[in-house]
Amino acid sequence: MRLVGAAGGSTHIPRRVLCAVARSPDLSADNCKMGITNRRSWEKSAENEEREKEAAAAAGRFAGVPEAEEGSDVDSDSDLETEGTHRLGELVKETLYLRSCRVHSVVPASCFLRQGSDPELNLRHRGLGPQGAQALASSLNSNPCVKRLDLRDNGLCGAGTEALASTLSKSSCICDVDLSENQLGAVGAQAICAALIANPTMQKVQLAGNGLEEQAAHYLAELLLAHTGLKSLDLSYNQLNDQAGETLGPALAENTGLIELNISWNHLRGPGAIAFARGLEANIFLRVLDISYNGFGDPGASAMGEALRTNNVLEELNMSNNRISAMGARSLGLGLRVNQTLRSLVVSRNPMQNKGCLAVLKSVQDNPVSALELLDFSEIQVNREFDDLASSVKAVLPGLCIKTAAHRVEYKKELLPVFRSSLPASAPK
């Protein structure tokens, strides 16, 4: 006798079993049905197991992993498993991102989908906006490959930055982020600074051109005080004024860890410039400082001279276009007479004229232990007296390169060790 199974096949029941059931008083028709039902359940589970095996094999082929043959080497199996895991991770990342884009009604960024295992995710000038940032933020957590995130000029604003901040605060991989030209404002600055404080792995942050003002300076000061792992910070092309300088100066004095700071193209003047210079005087970590295009003036130059007398760490200082006259240059020179660590000083495009240039150069001449390698007076007219003095100084310091309006000498800048190691081998130094 045959019964039709659940999968459409037949099940054979031996005749002697049926006879035994008929003769036995202990086996009722219900018990017989139960036995047949159990048989069907077993067959169905076996069939489901077979289907699961076929689905798993198909998934492996879809992910680009061929089925391993029996007797294959262990190393080959390990390579296939690694490749399969990697491609599965890529598929998960893309699926999450596309789903998030649909939720936020934004067009997916093809660069993100093509990113693969590249450690740099470059999405600058893509017009993501706040919604695009929210879609991206929910997908970055599933991408452990990204170490550098470039989102320059995407109109993120405060809302988009807040969405990204949550991801950046938890990321253990991203250590370099560029959020320049995104209209962050005070809201975005608060969100990003709080995220960075919570993430000790972050080493380099660029926040240039974000309209940061006095209020944002308070959040930046908290970042400088709390984050000891941050090595490079770019705050250029913002609107940090005198009050901001008075806020950032004390924070810079207490900061431990920052090596490079760019605060050029801001509005640090008067009391703010003096307070900032005093912060540099007490700092013992900063090695590269760019304060060009700020309007420090003579009071700020005098404060910087005092800072150079005490600071024995700073190696590169850019003070170009800061309204420094000959008087301010003489005050700056007082620090150069005793400083032993500064390697590069740029004071170009200042109204110090020939007198100011002479004062600075004489101060260098009076310092037998000066470490200067570059002295830049570009865009300032000098006379023969300066040229003669420059020749005398070079006789004492043969490694010193002096740039003037008439003499443009190429100077090869060597990157600091902390930044040199992060560049590819083919990158120029």
Instruction: Give the pLDDT mean for 16-38.
Output: 43
The predicted-structure confidence for 28-48, as pLDDT tens digits, reads as follows 444 434 444 444 444 444 444
Please measure the distance between the N-terminal and C-terminal CA atoms of the chain and give it in whole angstroms.
87
What does the pLDDT read at residue 104?
82
Q: Which two tokens stand for residue 311?
A: 């600071």
Residue 289 is inside which H or E element, if any?
strand 288-290
Could you tell me which of 173, 253, 242, 185 has the C-alpha nearest to residue 219?
Answer: 185
Residue 290, beta-bridge partner list: 262, 318
pLDDT on residue 32: 39
How far apart, in Å, are the Cα atoms of 421 and each of 417, 418, 426? 6, 6, 12
At 27, list the tokens. 């086996």
pTM: 0.74
**Cα 397 from Cα 256, distance rounded (Å):** 33
- For residues 283 and 307, what is the distance between their CA atoms, to the nearest angstrom? 9
Nearest in space to 372 (alpha carbons), one of 399, 390, 347:
399
- Residue range 202-250, pLDDT digits in tens: 999 999 999 999 999 999 999 999 999 999 999 999 999 999 999 999 9
- Write the CB contacts of 352 (distance below 8 Å, at least 6 apart in sequence): 324, 325, 326, 328, 329, 359, 360, 380
Distance CA 240, CA 186 (A): 12
pLDDT in tens, 335-351: 999 999 999 999 999 99
Dump the DSSP string for 194-227: HHHHH-TT--EEE-TTS---HHHHHHHHHHHHH-
The pLDDT-based confidence of 145 (bands split at 50, 70, 90) is: confident
Burial of 330 (0-12, 13-18, 19+ CB in 10 A): buried
CA 287-292-295 angle, to 5 degrees, is 130
Q: Taking residues 286-314, what's their average pLDDT?
A: 97
**How far is Cα of residue 57 from the mean position of the Cα atoms in its chain?**
40
Q: Give the list of residues 6+ apart from residue 281 with CB closer than 8 angstroms, or none.
A: 253, 306, 307, 310, 311
Confidence of residue 90 (pLDDT cuts 50, 70, 90): low
Between these two residues, 19 and 175, which has the higher pLDDT value?
A: 175
User: What angle do the packed helices 214-226 and 185-198 form, to 10 degrees?
Assistant: 0
User: Rounded mean pLDDT of the chain?
Assistant: 81
Write out pLDDT tens, residues 166-202.
Answer: 999 988 889 999 999 999 999 999 999 999 999 999 9
Over the range 235-267, which residues count as b (16 or more CB within 10 Å of their CB) and which as e? bbbbebbbbbbbbbbbbbbebeebbbbbbbbbb
Sheet with 344-346, edge to edge strand ranges: 120-122, 148-150, 176-178, 204-206, 232-234, 260-262, 288-290, 316-318, 344-346, 374-376, 401-403
